[in-house]
Structure 1
Amino acid sequence: MAKVNSCFKGVFAFFNILFGIAGAVLLALGILVHAFYHETEEFNNMIMGVVFLYILGGITVFISFLGAYGAYKEKKWALIVFCAGMTLGCCGLLRIAILLMVSRPEVKSQVEEQLRSAIPLDEANQDLKRVAEIFQTQLKCCGIFNGYQDWGSHIPNSCLCPTQYQETDKCERVESSRLEAMKAKNFLEQLISDSDNLVYKESCFPIILKHMDNYFDTTLGIIFGFATMALIGIIMSLMLICQIKGHRMAAPVIFSVNPSPPNYSKLYSTQS
């Protein structure tokens, strides 16, 4: 059997453990998303992402196991398959990263165009109104591009500044005649009586863009991280394959030493 540096095998095994943990995390994330959202309407939009997590996580775990097996047993075929899988994975990840970088401005432009078509929001369909109010509640903003003016004469509850923000620059004053009736009537009456009809000052679109940029940056970081790990795996597996191929055990040369003198035969000459 070929002799491979045991220290290098240990480093390669540790690398495969890390790679396998990363794949297990992707599988766990896919399972969690599936478990929490499979009965919701949003799951139909998530199904492709969940399937992608399952496939990527499963392949990652399998490839890492194959690499660890090939290194431990010093099997060239396993390391060759591992190297080929890493090469394909690295190329695929880099292609996805390039597509994301190229499509990034286009996606942002399409989102902006779709949101602008919904102005004024009080005349938009119910689905767009619901999405806008979700944005406003979660991002603490009002309107999409021009603040509360995007809502026309009907400003929803989600635009109102809560008490803790009323003394900050996050809020601006709006006439009470433009406020829509709130479910929390006591809170609204207090605002009207105090003439402090305040809504969130910042529009939602800049915050949405910031979150989109964070999403793209995070996704690209994960992709480049996996691509870097794949490249390291390719280099290490090639080094192991070369060690297994180059360190062949040579056939031993046996020297035999005979301490006794050679046998001599006495020559007789025959005289005629």
Structure 2
Amino acid sequence: MFPNRERSAVSLFHKFFLFFSNCIFLLGGLALTGAGSYVLYLKEKTINTMIDFLFDPSVMIVLIGAIIMFVSFFGLLGSLREITCCLKFYYIILMILLLLEIAAIVIVFVFYYVPSARTTLGLYPEDTLKDAIIKYRDDEDMQNFIDQLQIQLKCCGVSNDDVGYMDWNSNIYFNCTTDTSGPRSPESCSVPFSCCKLVAGQNLDYQCGGGVMRTDSDQSKIYTKGCLKGLEVWLNDNALIIGGVAIGILIPQAFFIYVAKTLTYQIEEQKSKW
């Protein structure tokens, strides 16, 4: 009979599950980064401000893809070659990302359900979003982002109140001040079409927001609340769905951390036997 060989402490399940999973993530991250970079190249996009960065989907795609590639590379290499320093770096980064995601979720809910925390924490997203309104016509990606935001949240402007549509006074094209010393824009005193209340079966009227910021106009055809107010309503209406999605993201991430840490301990145990 052959002598019994000592069983390896390294689990093949942990090793190859981590390896093949990170292969998929690496390829996915590469695809996202390549697609986003190609779009940026075609648009000849330049990033000058934080607004340009936050509200450009292609920039965010490149960033997310790069992070996925960077992290998954260490998970792939560490599991394949059984390099503990790579695995430790991998699960530490995942732990940091997990904590940041939890913190972001907490901050969003605290921002809306504990209004006094806004002042304490210095959270004033209105300022950032108002910059986006000012640049609405300057960047097509930003314009599309704001239009989709207003359509999805059924809102207009950015303020956390019921007259958010007046925020469009900040844009030179929609401005509705009483100063008539200079030429007025054809869109003066109007709001974008994305502020309008859509009626099923009717064609979209791109001029439906015309003149609604005048004091004698009818605002019933547009959504008047700001998008931060709209987001608050949306959070209230979809709290269970948001919680389910968050759990669906956080639990798998926590599982990968567990597998990576377990594999690291197994490799260290096996090395101690040599």
Q: State the TM-score, normalized to the length of structure 2.
A: 0.52
Match of residue 88, structure 1, among 96, 99, 108? 96
Q: 2:223 — aligned with what? A: 204
Alignment partners' CA distance in 1, 2:261 and 2:186: 54
Query: Is the 8 Å Cα contact of residues 13 and 71 (structure 1) preserved in structure 2?
Result: yes
> Closer, same or farther in 2 for the Cα pair 1:26/1:81, shift >3 Å?
same
AA of the residue aligned to 1:20: L
Match of residue 193, structure 2, among 129, 134, 140? 134
Is 1:241 the counterpart of 2:241? The answer is no
Alignment partners' CA distance in 2, 1:150 and 1:130: 5
AA of the residue aligned to 2:222: S
- Matched ranges for 1:42-61 at <5 A: 45-49=51-55, 52-61=60-69
Structure with max Cα Rg: 1
Query: Is the 8 Å Cα contact of residues 118 and 128 (structure 1) preserved in structure 2?
Result: no
Aligned residues: 202
AA of the residue aligned to 1:86: L
Q: What secondary structure does 1:110 align onto? A: coil
CA drift at 1:16: 1.4
Match of residue 7, structure 1, among 1, 8, 13? 13
Query: Is the 8 Å Cα contact of residues 97 and 224 (structure 1) preserved in structure 2?
Result: no
> Closer, same or farther in 2 for the Cα pair 1:30/1:129, shift >3 Å?
farther
**Any unmatched runs of 5+ in structure 1?**
156-199, 252-272
Root-mean-square deviation (CA, aligned residues, Å) is 4.9
Higher relative CO (Cα under 8 Å, sequence separation at least 6) belongs to 1
Query: Is the 8 Å Cα contact of residues 27 and 53 (structure 1) preserved in structure 2?
Result: yes
Q: What secondary structure does 2:10 align onto? A: coil
Q: State the TM-score, normalized to the length of structure 1.
A: 0.52
Q: 2:26 — aligned with what? A: 20
Alignment partners' CA distance in 2, 1:70 and 1:130: 60
Alignment partners' CA distance in 1, 2:93 and 2:105: 18
AA of the residue aligned to 2:79: A
- Name the % identity: 15
Alignment partners' CA distance in 1, 2:21 and 2:249: 12
Q: 2:146 — aligned with what? A: none
Q: 1:31 — aligned with what? A: 37
Is 1:63 the counterpart of 2:71? The answer is yes
Alignment partners' CA distance in 2, 1:91 and 1:66: 19
Q: 1:110 — aligned with what? A: 160
Query: Is the 8 Å Cα contact of residues 165 and 226 (structure 2) preserved in structure 1?
Result: no
Query: Is the 8 Å Cα contact of residues 93 and 224 (structure 1) preserved in structure 2?
Result: no
Q: What secondary structure does 1:15 align onto? A: helix
> Closer, same or farther in 2 for the Cα pair 1:52/1:122, shift >3 Å?
closer
Alignment partners' CA distance in 1, 2:51 and 2:193: 17
AA of the residue aligned to 1:9: K
AA of the residue aligned to 1:115: Y
CA drift at 1:90: 1.3
- The worse-fitting range, judged by mean Cα deviation, of 232-241 and 44-53 is 44-53
Q: What secondary structure does 1:234 align onto? A: helix
Alignment partners' CA distance in 1, 2:95 and 2:78: 16
Alignment partners' CA distance in 2, 1:67 and 1:27: 19
Q: 1:182 — aligned with what? A: none
Q: What CA deviation, in whole Å up to 9, does each residue of 1:60-79 have, x standing for no partner?
A: 21110111111111111111
CA drift at 1:110: 3.3
Query: Is the 8 Å Cα contact of residues 143 and 151 (structure 1) preserved in structure 2?
Result: no
Query: Is the 8 Å Cα contact of residues 19 and 229 (structure 1) preserved in structure 2?
Result: no
